[in-house]
Amino acid sequence: MIETSLYYITIGLFFAAACIATWVAINAFGSYFKEYESTFSETTSSTMTDMFMFVDPARLFTLNIVGIILVPLLLWIITGDDIVAVAALIGMFLLPWWIYKVLKQRRMKKFESQLPDAFMMLSSSLQSGASLTMALEGLVKEQPAPLSQEFGLLIRQQRIGVDLEQGLTNMEKRLPVQDFQIAVSAIKISREVGGNLIEVMETLAETLRRKATMEGKIDSLTSQGRMQGKVMTGLPILLGVILMQIEPEAMGKLFTTPIGWGTLAVIIVMEVLGYLTINKITSIDV
């Protein structure tokens, strides 16, 4: 009788402990989920707005959550490998930030390539007798995005009372491009000391064109080294895939044994270090 009572009491305690643990886990996950949603929405809204891409953050968050759930699950069903599923889960968490970074870099690169023609157009407009505001309005009409978007926002800010220097400073914060920062500094100094703005614009356009030409030559000279880095990084991965097809039992120990996990970790670290080293060697600042 006593043993039966102790048995039921033990079961009851285990059940209560399981319920408490489940409740704590749900609350912790709910708190983390809300924090992740808030961070994702705020970052997405500010990043996409800076790039003049007006997308509903809630919809992007829903797509991200669906990807986080479905992609690792499908890979786990197809491969049956826990490591692949975990890697896919981490990748889906990092994918939105990587996409934002790529889009922002492309936008800044395109904006930088438009600057020489923009300054030459401003110089021509000023030479014909137009004011700086009229020259900027003509620039917005003639140039494509993203330059037209950024200078269009500058003109709208001026119309509501923001002075030109502050508007250019705001553009610098949105577009931390070195060439544009140099140009903004030159324009501000010219306006403060009363220099020849037309000559400043022409000099900026010519300087940026020469810089772009030099960067193109450097990219051409270092393109072979960058390609070699990509090939050397991808070769061990390709070799591993081929060996997995030829000797799946032997290669499977990389993913199922502690020694294999350690070897795999060393391989990944060496691959990353090798790629970063080659990339550093072939990256030359102008």
What are the mean pLDDT values of the chain's consecutive 10-residue runs (286 residues total)? 58 57 57 71 74 77 82 81 79 85 87 88 85 84 87 87 85 83 82 78 86 83 82 85 83 81 86 85 70
Contacts of 209 (CB under 8 A, 6+ apart): 116
pTM to 2 decimals?
A: 0.70
What does the angle CA 131 – CA 159 – CA 134 come to, to the nearest 5 degrees? Answer: 20
Lookup: tokens for 17: 């402990």
Per-residue pLDDT, 11: 58
Per-residue pLDDT, 30: 63
181, 172 in Cβ contact below 8 A?
yes
Give the span between the Cα atoms of 236 and 266, in whole angstroms.
Answer: 13
Per-residue pLDDT, 259: 86
Per-residue pLDDT, 211: 85
Per-residue pLDDT, 9: 64
Per-residue pLDDT, 5: 60
Q: CA quadruple 200, 206, 208, 210: dihedral positive or negative?
A: negative
Per-residue pLDDT, 256: 80
Per-residue pLDDT, 32: 65
Domain 111-215: what homologous superfamily?
A: Type II secretion system (T2SS), domain F (1.20.81.30)
Lookup: tokens for 242: 């081929």
Per-residue pLDDT, 27: 60
Cα dihedral 268, 273, 279, 282 in deg (nearest 10): -140
Lookup: tokens for 166: 């502050």
